[in-house]
Amino acid sequence: MAIEPQIVFADSSSEHPNIDADGIEALVTPRTRAIVAVHYAGNACEMNKILEIARRHDLVVVEDAAQAIDSYYADEPLGSLGAMATFSFHETKNIIAGEGGLLTLNQPQYIERAEIIREKGTNRSAFFRGEVDKYGWVDIGSSFLPADLIAAYLFAQLEYIDIIQSRRKAIWQRYWANLAGKLAGFGVALPTLPSGSDSNGHLFFLVCNTFEQRTALIERLKQDGVQAVFHYLSLHKSPFFEGKHDGRTLQNSDRFSDCLVRLPLFYELTDDQVDFICERVLANLSLLRST
Ligand SMILES: *Cc1c(COP(=O)(O)O)cnc(C)c1O
């Protein structure tokens, strides 16, 4: 009888929203097959520790590098460290095609099946290479090939990747320079980068002191014409996982879910706008403290 696959959630680090690498090993059981590492905000997970745990327990490491194109860990590109990785070209990412993504495979044994899944469960790729004389259904799959127009759009983005990345990183640095040393009095923290992480400026976030402070800050920024947003709700608390999560409290994940706020970060954002946003963040936090 087939055993239902089960996702076991690991908590975030206390320092940053990425997985707490030191908490993984306690969750590994004989049924564990893979570790999925999400490189949140384009910041690297502690891959040395994660790869070492995977080696010891013979597990596959899957990197969710959706936000992490052109980010690095100890000078290695994210998405090149695990057995496989996914990237996103969704309109909210650094390099976009409207919708679409990329699967990278680090081990040749996965290539054939990936081709089949991409080609609707058929061996059409092998057929085009002349390896079989007709093609048919050999596995599950779906229609994952991008259309030519999407691919053309993406190609142009990739040609400009250095320009796009350097502007995004400059915006990220400007936020940092404007806010560093000015937030602690409000109990608000700047992002902490995991050691070894060289980030792609995908997003800039602050971690508020409380859920109420975050809610009020977002509301006030909105009145100033600044669209700041929070991001994900903890997956283990989502309706889909109700009754499936084993019930452990994931306190760091919950704290980031409640307190993280993203500031605007996109290619066209000007230095003056970044300065204005920072000025409004500080002014609003001040006002909130005195009310
Ligand atoms: C955007 C994103 C995804 C989904 O990417 P799609 O291209 O929309 O499938 C998955 N994981 C993370 C961390 C993301 O940021």
First to last CA, the chain: 61
Mean residue pLDDT of the chain comes to: 95
Q: What is the DSSP secondary structure assignment for residue 241, as one 8-state letter? A: G
Note the pLDDT tens digit of each residue in 146-161: 999 999 999 999 999 9
Q: At which residue do the structure tokens 């307190």 appear?
A: 259
Reading phi first (left if > 0) and then psi (alpha if -120 to 50, else beta), residue 225 is in left
| Angle, helices 211-223/251-259, rounded to nearest 10 degrees | 20
Mutate to test the pocket of ligand 1, among 38, 67, 71, 87 (most ligand atoms within 8 A of CB): 67
77 close to ligand 1 (CB < 6 Angstrom): no
- Which atom of ligand 1 approaches the CA of 88 most closely? 7
Note the pLDDT tens digit of each residue in 103-123: 999 999 999 999 999 999 999
Question: In this structure, what are the phi and psi dihedrals at residue 3, rounded to the nearest 5 degrees?
Answer: -95, 130
88 close to ligand 1 (CB < 6 Angstrom): yes
pLDDT band at 77 (very low <50, low <70, confident <90, very high): very high
CA angle 164, 170, 175 (to 5 degrees): 130
38 close to ligand 1 (CB < 6 Angstrom): yes
Three-class DSSP category at 250: coil
pTM, full prediction: 0.95
Distance 231 CA to ligand 1 centre (A): 12
Residue nearest to atom 10 of ligand 1 (CA): 66
pLDDT band at 1 (very low <50, low <70, confident <90, very high): low
Q: Indicate the burial class of 146 (C-beta count within 10 angstroms; 0-12, 13-18, 19 or more).
A: middle
Of the candidates 221, 227, 218, 285, the residue with the CA atom closest to the CA atom of residue 258 = 218
Distance 36 CA to ligand 1 centre (A): 13
Token digits of residue 90: 């969704």
- Which atom of ligand 1 approaches the CA of 90 most closely? 7
On the question of pLDDT at 285 being above 80, the answer is: yes
Distance 66 CA to ligand 1 centre (A): 5
Distance 40 CA to ligand 1 centre (A): 10
